[in-house]
Amino acid sequence: MTLDTRQETSIAPGVKIGAGANPSPRRIIGPGSKVGLIGLGLMGRPMGLNLLKAGYCLTVWNRTASRAESLVAAGAKLANSPEEVASSSDALITIVSDPPALEGVLWGGSGSRQSAGALGSLKPGSIYMDSSTVSPALARKIAVASTERQIAFLDAPVTGGTWGAEKGELVFMVGGDAEVLKDAEPILSVLGKRWFHLGPNGAGQTIKLAMNLILALQVDALAEALALVTAAGFEGEKLVEVLQSSMARAAVLDVKAPLLLKGEYPPSFPLRLMHKDMGLALELAKEAGVALPAAAAAYATYSAVKAAAKQDLDYAAVMKFWKD
């Protein structure tokens, strides 16, 4: 019989983790544990509410403090800086808009209006999980910096949209140590319905970028096909009706097809973020020496729509390329 000789650390109210803590202790996380959340946008706010409902002690921060109002009303503590969130948390979650914003939060600078950053304030032995969508290279950079501070890091971007965040039914794509993922599962079970361990740090971000690229291409292809059908004098609804009963059916059509048909694009997944993710995917392809001609063409279309947009729209607004 093999005994587990790892140091056991109980992360619960009143428990402190010392500077000499084992970088990979057994962490006991559950209701009552201190969790920090940085980033209170379309996804972050409902994630925070679910953590509060599950009994976690939540501290939050966002560049626009007013976005924390609903969480504070539900029992969260509003911190004055990313450092304050990190220093008071045994587990930290970030979910911000892009790589510069994440780097600002972690290391200071214009992204957070701070000089130190959250990473330097996390206690050794704590868990840090980033659910933003950034580059695999940045995830690996964070992993190195976390290891130096004896912090357990997971890159764990999500999919599922705002409705998934509200229902606690997100899907996490995770890169990092399997034991750390196991320790983080009590939190993941509150926020999501499934999570996949995909490999070392950077794996979660790689799969997320590839998946978002497929979603972008699917919606762009549907927009092109609708433009063709309507230009030929037929109703777009007829195409969607057939698609839903054919091999071309995709779950994304259930959500996005009605938006394209109505020409209404409230931001569930903002165009600006999908455009950012496509750009990151193309950068990764360049690093890997892989040609992505369809992605490059779609990126040009999304870029044109984004440049012309005067408001924050869902990425289904790629249809405006043909409408306009």
Give catalytic residues, as residue numbers: 208
Give CA separation, 41 vs 203, 218, 228, in Å. 24, 25, 36
Burial of 169 (0-12, 13-18, 19+ CB in 10 A): middle
User: H or E segment at 167?
Assistant: helix 161-167
Phi–psi pair at 14, nearest 5 degrees: 90, -10
SS3 197: strand
**Residues whose CB falls within 8 Å of the CB of residue 290, separated by 6 or more in sequence, listed in order:** none
DSSP string, 213-230: HHHHHHHHHHHHHHHHHH
Secondary structure E strands in the chain = 8-10, 26-28, 34-38, 57-61, 77-78, 91-94, 127-130, 152-155, 158-159, 170-175, 192-199
**Residues whose CB falls within 8 Å of the CB of residue 99, separated by 6 or more in sequence, listed in order:** 134, 135, 138, 280
Q: What is the DSSP letter of 7?
A: P
Phi–psi pair at 58, nearest 5 degrees: -110, 130
